[in-house]
Amino acid sequence: MQIQPARQSHSQTPMNELQQTLIGDSAATPARLILQAVADHLAHHRVPSAPHSIYEEVWHLAYWQDMTLDWAAGRETPVPEHASIGFPTPDHVAQEKWDQLRERFLIGTETASALAGDEEVLPRSIRCPSLPGKPTRTMSVREQLESLAAHNAYHLGRVVLLRQLNGAWPPPSGSFTW
């Protein structure tokens, strides 16, 4: 199954709440604004006592988002054996520049949003592999996208906090400041 990113136009129907949560202005600032004007040096900066940089948080988001999109497309991509695999190694960082990573993640959010707007696809059952030794889970595409939206919101909140700690919030186009 080929999944195309969502493109909101004036002639399309409004986005549903799941789409809004994935790319719009639902309960929080949209991902594209959270990642707006994050320079390379800020993306890689390590805040003392913070476990990850902005780059690492976004790489983690893209990693799991890609896996969700694989599952939704019927590809049973295995879950990593260790949580650390879901964060970048120095080799990953060397292979993908910040701007490329940000764009990859944002394109993925558009693709996930397109799925969330497809009422025929949402109820379809998909197999979502689990940790080794655990049974494979079966859920609907909607349930998996809801899980993705919650995961993205959690980690994007961490990105906002890192930006706040670095004095780089709100983004130039504005956002909530609390």
Q: For each of the domains in the chain, give its residue range(s) and CATH number, in order of start.
A: 31-165 (1.20.120.450)
pLDDT in the model for residue 116: 97
State the pLDDT at residue 150: 95
What are the b/e assignments for 33-45, b being 16+ CB within 10 Å? Answer: bbbbebeeebbeb
Diameter of the chain measured on Cα atoms: 48
Question: What is the structure's pLDDT at 8?
Answer: 46
Which residues have CB under 8 Å from 41's CB, separation 6+?
Answer: none
What pLDDT does 12 receive?
67
Centre a 10 Å sphere on the Cβ of residue 23 and count the other Cβ atoms it contains: 24
pTM of the model: 0.90
Q: What is the pLDDT along the chain (178 residues), one digit of tens a residue?
A: 445 454 444 346 789 999 999 998 777 899 999 999 999 999 999 999 999 999 999 999 999 999 999 999 999 988 888 889 999 999 999 999 999 999 999 999 999 999 999 999 999 999 998 888 889 999 999 999 999 999 999 999 999 999 999 999 988 887 666 5
- 70 vs 111: CA distance, rounded Å: 11
pLDDT at 24: 80
Instruction: Write down the pLDDT at residue 146.
Output: 97
- Tell me how many degrees the CA angle 135-68-10 measures, rounded to the nearest 5: 150
pLDDT at 178: 56
